[in-house]
Chains A and B, each alone.
Chain A
Amino acid sequence: MTSHGRTDVSPADWLEAMAGLRSEGFVLFDFLTAVDRGATLEVVARIVNPVTRVTAMVWTTLPADAAELASLSDYYLGATWCEREAAEMFGVTFIGLADTRPLLLRASLGKPPMRKSAPLVARAIRDWPGAAQATDDGRQGGNPSRRRQLPPGVPEVFLHDDVNGDVASAELASGDQR
């Protein structure tokens, strides 16, 4: 397969660009997903021309706090599944998508879990194994000069000590994950 390369379009041109490629023979829909870049969210779709075996990747960039995009489901019925997945995992709203039922997650879960702003709950409910230190049985009082190690990439509120543990559990219980 050869690649048509990467095409970047504005969200407003998304539907038109995809419809144009479809009329050029890119009739096979492969996948659609999103990439969290922090302030922005990129959505990418890969489509294939099954006759020439050329693939195309079409990208668009949305603001992370208002991620709305026209649904491809009128042009590619198979995009429905991927759009439902991107909606529940990344919080993209697809305008015109008829079926918005979540695929895997409960609707009440809260923040889309694949957003970087949604901390991994498994990191909150478990102690970091790296915090363990060799127990000192040769001397009294341990080694005070050793600095406390912290797990990389875990929000402060998730770190387990007597104070933060309570805060993390309270936030989790209220469903407000930062």
Chain B
Amino acid sequence: MIPGEAHGTIALSASACTSCMICVRECPTWCIELDSHTEQVSEPGARRPKTVNVLDAFRIDFGLCMYCGICVDLCPFDALAWSPEHDLASTTAAGLVHGIEELESTWPSADCAAEAGTPGGDGSPSDS
């Protein structure tokens, strides 16, 4: 049994990500790529529309990642988390590049997050 706090892979909660680029810029191996655009959002009662970042693509190349966890530590919005999922093998180099869908699929369950004392569970893609 893999303990919940195991550093098996890095998972993403796209709904928590604000496309701030901190993880991309701090990654020592340059393994994270992020595409985003801005949109104007009008909220009722607001005087003028608000500019928000919208996440278009998020990729981690696990062929480059050295599992240092700096991105997990630095994310101000807990949009990245360690996950005990570890079965990332691929027959091609391109298969090691995981996009939003794959990164969200490994988001740790609430049980794992509680065991690890880290974010997870709440705010997960399946919960929201």
Docked Cα-Cα span, A12 to B35, in Å, equals 56
A-chain residues with CB within 8 Å of residue B33 when the two chains form the complex = 129, 132
Q: Does A149 contact B (CB under 8 A)?
A: yes
Within 8 A of B (CB), among A23-74: none
- Given known contacts A128-B30, A129-B32, A134 and B25 CB-to-CB distance under 8 angstroms: no
Q: Is the CB of A132 within 8 A of B21?
A: yes
Q: Which of A92-100, A135-143, A163-171 makes up part of the contact surface? A: A135-143
Please report the total number of A residues contacting B with Cβ < 8 Å: 14
Q: Is the CB of A135 within 8 A of B37?
A: yes
With both chains docked as a complex, state the minimum distance between the C-beta of B44 and any C-beta of chain A, in angstroms: 19
Q: Does A106 contact B (CB under 8 A)?
A: no
B-chain residues with CB within 8 Å of residue A126 when the two chains form the complex = 30
Within 8 A of B (CB), among A98-152: 123, 126, 128-130, 132-138, 149, 151
Docked Cα-Cα span, A135 to B36, in Å, equals 7
Q: Does B34 contact A (CB under 8 A)?
A: yes
Q: Is the CB of B40 within 8 A of A138?
A: yes
Of the residues A128, A137, A149, contact of B39 by C-beta under 8 Å: A137
Q: Is the CB of A137 within 8 A of B21?
A: no
B-chain residues with CB within 8 Å of residue A137 when the two chains form the complex = 37-39
B-chain residues with CB within 8 Å of residue A132 when the two chains form the complex = 21, 24, 33-35
- Given known contacts A126-B30, A128-B30, A129-B30, A134 and B36 CB-to-CB distance under 8 angstroms: yes
Docked Cα-Cα span, A155 to B9, in Å, equals 31
Docked Cα-Cα span, A130 to B33, in Å, equals 8
Docked Cα-Cα span, A88 to B118, in Å, equals 43
Which of B25, B27, B34, B53 is the most central at the interface, judged by chain A CB atoms within 10 Å of its CB?
B25
Q: Is the CB of A134 within 8 A of B53?
A: yes
Docked Cα-Cα span, A133 to B38, in Å, equals 10
Q: Is the CB of B38 within 8 A of A138?
A: yes
A-chain residues with CB within 8 Å of residue B35 when the two chains form the complex = 132
Proximity bits, B35-61, A CB within 8 Å = 1, else 0: 111111000000001010100000000
Q: Is the CB of A135 within 8 A of B38?
A: yes
Q: Does B83 contact A (CB under 8 A)?
A: no
Q: Does B19 contact A (CB under 8 A)?
A: yes
Proximity bits, B1-40, A CB within 8 Å = 1, else 0: 0000000000000000001010011010010111111111
**7 tightest A-B CB contacts, nearest first:** A130-B25, A138-B40, A134-B36, A129-B33, A135-B37, A130-B24, A134-B38
Interfacial residues, chain A to chain B (CB-CB below 8 A)? 123, 126, 128-130, 132-138, 149, 151
